[in-house]
Amino acid sequence: MEAKQIAGGICAPQGFTAAGIHAGIRKNKDRKDLAMIKSSVPCIAAAVYTQNKVYGAPITVTRNNLQDHHAQAIICNSGNANTCLANGVEIATEMCDLAARSLGLQREDIIVASTGVIGMPFDIQPIADNIDQLAASLSIDGAHAAATAIMTTDTVPKEIAVEFEIGGCQCRIGAIAKGSGMIHPNMATMLSFITTDAAISPAMLEQSLKEVVKDTYNMISVDGDTSTNDMVAIMANGLAGNKEITTTDADYQTFTAALRQIATVMAKKIASDGEGATRLMECIVTGAPDQQTARNIAKSVITSSLTKAAIFGADANWGRVLCAIGYTEGDFAVDRIAVSFSSAKGTIDVCRNGAGIDFSEEKAKEILLEDEIHINIDMGLGSSSATAWGCDLTYDYVKINGDYRT
């Protein structure tokens, strides 16, 4: 059963407030660039980080701060990634200090994140000058402002909240995310902050987050580039009053299902708002010999530049899908593969037993001109499945990335 979607984003769970302002990290005064999220009480916290060996200083500092599995606030800027800078860790630590001072917390209670250009000198002054104003503007209505302040080339803010019951208590989970470019499976490669008022132990929170991330945030790709900075962090403050989740029992399953629901929606939002994207591609692999192979194949297809360009052109070029399957690691037989395309306009079979079949190009075009395209692949071998999300490759992707810094 799906959890009920509710309003309020990251402030829907009890005890959370948020804010987002223009502090001056970006030159454009119309763009917010600094976000804060705070819980009224200390939280259990967990996070997953980029697997890029070149990672931002905020990753170092947050990882360190979360060693005790506790946090109470998040500070995040856009416009500068604080990555590949000699004084990066110093700056990220200073951001924590500034946030902690303005909130009356300890430095170690802060999760810090940055997103933007890599290697650009980072001026901390705009943050120092505006942190008190940011803290003062924290409110239960600030979720949207925070969602907006973490955006880079995103075209829309991404937020969601759901409500569900654990042992008779109403619990909530809320999330914001930013994505757009440099999005590629291998953890993160985007930022997402998740709040919940459910009571859950550090070990169970971490397990739940990791379990969900591998099927959601890790199954999207915009351009195959694994970013240096990105993280998914979750804070649980326990204010819902449920009996604390301490084992993988039914309550854990309920919590994890709700978290999965949230993370799936965020993943799709990120993929469909990929840089320059006009279409969301969802690749659903079934009949795979094992889970890892299913994942690899789904990711390979949504990452293929040629497939992505074909989807932009609404071209039923299933040969490129087969090609992308073929260069995936794993053991499988090509002559059992079946492929179909589907959308709101219906489904069309294009390949069976690894070979093309007759189909109406006209009908295929009609299906592929929709905003959300499913590429369905049956490997015909086993019972494992996986889903991955990506977007088409467009002129605008090239335009956005051909001159991002200027």
**Cα gap 324→371, rounded to integer Å:** 22
* 17 is annotated as an active-site residue: no
- Catalytic residue, chosen from 62, 189, 307, 387, is 189
Q: Nearest distance from residue 55's CB to a second copy, in Å?
A: 7
Q: Nearest distance from residue 69's CB to a second copy, in Å?
A: 27
Half-sphere exposure of 264 (CA within 13 A, CB side): 15
Q: Considering only CA atoms, which of 246, 157, 155, 243 is closest in space to residue 193?
A: 157
Residue pair 139/133 in contact (Cβ under 8 Å)? The answer is no
Cβ-based nearer residue to a second copy, 146 or 322? 322
Q: Residue ranges of the alpha helices (H) in 165-242?
A: 202-215
Residue pair 149/130 in contact (Cβ under 8 Å)? The answer is no
Q: Nearest distance from residue 155's CB to a second copy, in Å?
A: 18
Residue pair 59/229 in contact (Cβ under 8 Å)? The answer is yes
Please report, as ranges, the residues that interact with a second copy according to CB under 8 A: 51-55, 81, 83-86, 117-121, 181-182, 184, 186, 223-228, 303-306, 309-310, 312-313, 315, 317-320, 322-328, 332, 334, 351, 353-356, 393-395, 397-406
Q: Considering only CA atoms, which of 360, 274, 285 is closest in space to residue 316?
A: 360
Cβ-based nearer residue to a second copy, 254 or 376? 376
Cβ-based nearer residue to a second copy, 118 or 169? 118
Cβ-based nearer residue to a second copy, 119 or 241? 119
Of all helices (H) and strands (E), which one includes residue 196? strand 191-196
Q: Considering only CA atoms, which of 295, 220, 218, 205 is closest in space to residue 50?
A: 218
Q: Nearest distance from residue 345's CB to a second copy, in Å?
A: 19
Q: Nearest distance from residue 286's CB to a second copy, in Å?
A: 18
Cβ-based nearer residue to a second copy, 189 or 192? 189
**Cα gap 211→144, rounded to integer Å:** 27
Catalogue the active-site residues: 189
